[in-house]
Amino acid sequence: MGPGYWEVRCADAMTNMYLAVAGILAAGLLGMQNREPLHWKDVSYAGSIQTKSAELPANLEQSLSQLERVSEELSEALGSRIPGHYLHVKRHEVEALKHLSSQQLYQLLATLI
């Protein structure tokens, strides 16, 4: 890996990569505009184990709550209402799937992929 190389490891096969990259770029732009400090240093593969405070959300509901906190700013940065629409659809998805067991949810997602 050389300079300028980066990965999006939190994305999976169900990810719309265009939307994911647009969101990452918009979040970076917002961080620069708001002069947010960069807390994480670049890491090598061997040093990529993060602390507890740096973990990703544990489930979809936690992810949506974090997105909801910045959705207005993100909408402005993207020039779109996509974050609000995305939140609406995903909240409906959480509600529709909450009755499924872990095994049933796994089977459903395996079928969709």
- What does the pLDDT look like over 17-71, one tens digit per residue? 888 888 888 988 988 998 988 776 666 655 555 555 567 788 889 999 999 998 9
Does the pLDDT at position 100 exceed 90?
yes
Number of structural domains (the chain) is: 1
CA distances from residue 28 to 34, 36, 97 in whole angstroms, order as listed? 10, 9, 32
Residue 12 lies in a domain: no
Query: Tokens representing 104?
Result: 């049933």
The single residue listed with the structure tokens 């959705």 is 71
Provide the domain limits for residue 102. Answer: 17-41+57-112
Q: Give pTM, 2 decimals.
A: 0.67
